[in-house]
Structure 1
C-alpha cells in the first residue's frame, strides 16, 4: 500500500463556521464545496480537512447524527510561540496556553467554532528559543 494523501473528515453543526476558522486562521483554502460539504487543503501538503454537515446524506445512517467529539487535530510546526501570539492577536481563543512537557514537547491548543480542538506541537531541542 502507498498512502498518497491524508484527510480528516469532521462532521460538524456549522460547516461555514469551521471553514472560516480554518481558512482565516490556519491557511487552508477551499478545494471543493457543495451543500453541507467543503474540502480544504494547504499548499504545504499538510493534512486535508473535509467538513460535513451533521445529518448529511452521504454518511451512513448510523453516523449522520454524530458530530466530531474527542478529536484533536495536531499539527507539528516551528516557531510555536510566534504562532500562539499570532492567533491570539487575530482574536482566536487560546484554550490551552503554550506549555512545555518534561519530555521536550511544546504545545498549545485552540478550539474552532464547532468545538474541534486544534493542537500545535513543536519538539524542543537544547538551545531552542521558545
Structure 2
C-alpha cells in the first residue's frame, strides 16, 4: 500500500506539469492572463501536483506542493512494476521530471480515492 490515500483531501492539479510549474512559479514575467493558469500573485498561491522522477534506479512519483518560494515533496512512492514498465517503454532511459502519463494518473487516482 502506498499511503497516498492520506492525501486524498488535497486539491490536486492533474493538469500541472513540471514545465507549467516552472513557468508559473519560477520564470520572471509570468503575466499571461489568458493562459490556463492565472498569474501567481503571492506566496499564498500554490499548486499541488504529481511528477514522475526518473533520476534514480527506478521511476517514482512525487506529490509536490509548490509556491513561489519553495517546492515541498509531500510523499514519494515507487511505481508498481506494471506501470513503471509501461512508462519506461515510452521514455526509455531519459532522466528527469515528467508529467504523469494517463496510465500513471489512473493508478494514482485509484490509490488516492479508492483505497
Larger Rg: 1
Write 1 or 2 for the structure with the bigger share of helix.
Answer: 2
Write 1 or 2 for the structure with the bigger share of strand.
Answer: 1
Asked which structure has the greater RCO (Cα within 8 Å, sep 6+), the reply is 2
